[in-house]
Amino acid sequence: MEKQHSFWEREEWLKPPDLVVIGGGIVGASTALFYKEIYPDHDVIIVDKGITPEGASTRNAGFSCIGSISEHLADLKISGEETVFKRIGRRWNGLQLLRKTIGDDVMDYQNTGGYEIFKEEKTYKRCAEKIPWFNQKLKDKFGLKDVYSMDVYEGYPAIFNRVEGAINSGKLMRTLHVRLAKAGIRIWWNSKVLRVETGAVHFENGFQINPKKTVIAVNGFLQRLENLPVHPARGFVFVTKPISDLKWIGTFHYDEGYVYFRNVNDRLLLGGGRNVAKEEEATDLFGANQKIRDYLIGFADKTLKLPEKWEIDIEWSGIMGMTENKEPIHQKVKPGVWVAAGLSGMGIAIGMQVAKELVLKMEE
Ligand SMILES: Cc1cc2nc3c(=O)[nH]c(=O)nc-3n(C[C@H](O)[C@H](O)[C@H](O)COP(=O)(O)OP(=O)(O)OC[C@H]3O[C@@H](n4cnc5c(N)ncnc54)[C@H](O)[C@@H]3O)c2cc1C
C-alpha cells in the first residue's frame, strides 16, 4: 500500500489553510505576520524550497539605506522624479517599520551613517552639486533635514548620508521567524512549489494543498512560477578574516551603488560588482563569477588599500529580483492569488513596507 496521510493528518495538519505564502524571505515572512495580525484565527502556512530562506534575505549585505546620490541620479534618468522620490519615501518608511517591528537591539541596528566615495573628480562634482537639491526635497517631502553633506574618507572625496545604517541580516530573519512561530504561523521548509492555481499549490514531491488564498513571494525565482516581468540578478559578497586596524568603519557605496562595503566588527564585507558582468549574472542559480570576484579583490587591494595578506574568510551569492524601473510588483494575479516580488537591492529597506501594502490590497 502506498503511504497514505492519516486521519489525524488529514483533519488537523493538511486541511485547507486560509493562507499559504510561498517564500520565507523578508517579504513572505512579513506578509504572513501582518496578515495574521489582522486575522488571528486564520490558519497560515509559509512554505520555502530551502532549509533556510534561500534567496536574498539571509544572503544580503545588511545595509539599511535610502540610497546614494549617484544611484538616485542614475535612477532619475530611468524613472523620473516622482517615481524616484516615491521610492526613497518607501525605503525610509520601510526602514522605520522594520525597526519598529523587529527592534534595533535584536538585529544589531547601527546608525553608522553612510559614505559614498568617489575616485573621479568629475563624478564627485556632478553629485556634490546636487546635494542642496536632494536635501531640500527630502526635507519638504519627508521632514528629513540635511541628509547629505560633503566629506572626505581615507583621502577620497565623499558624500556622507547621515540616515544610513547597518544591521545583522541573520538576526533580523531569525527574529522574524521566531515571531512567526509565536503567532502560530507554520513553516514548511524544503518544500519546493512547482505550480500555483487558484485554490491549489502543487509541490515538487507531488503533494498538493488547497488554500483559500495564496501569496507568491519568491522574488528572483518568480519566473519559474508566474510569467511576470521580474528578472533574476545574482549578487556576490565576501567577508574577510579579521583585519587589525581596519580603516573602513561604517557603511560605504561606490559607483551608483554597484559596489558596497561595510565593516562587520573587525572584518570587511565587500559585495556587488554585478555591472562588470550584468548579462552573466541574470540567473537564479547560485555561484561565483570569477570576473566579479577578481574585480572586487582588485577594488579591495587598490582602492580600499587593505593591508597586505588580507584574506577572504567566506564568500557567497544571493538572488535578487529586478524590474525594469526598480519598482516592486505587488498585485493580484488570479482569483485568490497575489504576488509580491522585484525588491531589487533594497529589500531590507522596502521589504516590510511592500508586505504591509500587499496585505492591505488583499483586503480590497
Ligand atoms: C548579495 C546581496 C546583497 C544585498 N544587500 C542588500 C542590502 O544591503 N540592503 C538591502 O536593503 N537589500 C539588499 N539586498 C536585497 C534584499 O536582500 C532583497 O531585496 C530581499 O531580501 C528580498 O526579499 P524577498 O523576501 O522578496 O526574497 P527572498 O529573500 O529571495 O525570498 C524568497 C524565498 O522564496 C523561496 N522560494 C523561491 N522559489 C520557491 C519555490 N518554487 N517554492 C518554495 N519556495 C521558493 C526562496 O527559497 C526564498 O527563501 C541584497 C541582495 C543580495 C543578493
Alpha-carbon distance of 364 to 335, in angstroms, equals 12
pLDDT digits (tens, 9 = 90+) for 34-57: 999 999 999 999 999 999 999 999
Atom of ligand 1 nearest to the CA of 220: 30
Q: Whose CA is nearest to atom 14 of ligand 1?
A: 345
Write the single-letter amino acid at 282.
A
151 phi and psi angles, rounded to 5 deg: -155, 180
Please report which confidence band the pLDDT of residue 87 belongs to, taking 50, 70 and 90 as the band edges: very high
Task: Tell me the whole-structure pTM to 2 decimals.
Answer: 0.97
pLDDT digits (tens, 9 = 90+) for 264-278: 999 999 999 999 999
CA of 319 to the centre of ligand 1 (A): 6
CA of 26 to the centre of ligand 1 (A): 7
Write the single-letter amino acid at 292.
I
pLDDT digits (tens, 9 = 90+) for 123-161: 999 999 999 999 999 999 999 999 999 999 999 999 999
| Mean pLDDT score across all residues of the chain | 97
CA of 46 to the centre of ligand 1 (A): 15
Q: What percent of the chain has pLDDT over 90?
A: 96
CA of 348 to the centre of ligand 1 (A): 9
Domains and CATH numbers, the chain: 7-59+170-230+325-363 (3.50.50.60), 231-322 (3.30.9.10)
- Report the residue among 54, 216, 326 best suited for mutation to probe ligand 1: largest number of ligand atoms under 8 A from its CB: 54
pLDDT digits (tens, 9 = 90+) for 92-108: 999 999 999 999 999 99
The Cβ of residue 183 has, within 10 Å, a number of other Cβ atoms equal to: 14
Rounded mean pLDDT, 68-74: 95
Yes or no: say if 322 and 231 are a contact pair by the CB < 8 Å rule.
Answer: yes
pLDDT of residue 3: 82
Yes or no: say if 315 and 269 are a contact pair by the CB < 8 Å rule.
Answer: no
Alpha-carbon distance of 32 to 62, in angstroms, equals 22
Atom of ligand 1 nearest to the CA of 340: 26
Q: What percent of the chain has pLDDT over 70?
A: 100
pLDDT digits (tens, 9 = 90+) for 232-250: 999 999 999 999 999 999 9
CA of 14 to the centre of ligand 1 (A): 27
Alpha-carbon distance of 217 to 31, in angstroms, equals 9
CA of 219 to the centre of ligand 1 (A): 6
pLDDT of residue 364: 81
Q: Could you report how far apart the first and last alpha carbons of the chain are, in Å?
A: 46
- Report the residue among 343, 344, 352, 353 best suited for mutation to probe ligand 1: largest number of ligand atoms under 8 A from its CB: 343
Yes or no: say if 116 and 254 are a contact pair by the CB < 8 Å rule.
Answer: yes
Pocket of ligand 1 (CB under 6 A): 22-28, 47-50, 53-57, 59-63, 192-193, 217-221, 224-225, 235, 237, 271, 318-320, 343, 345-349, 351
pLDDT of residue 351: 98
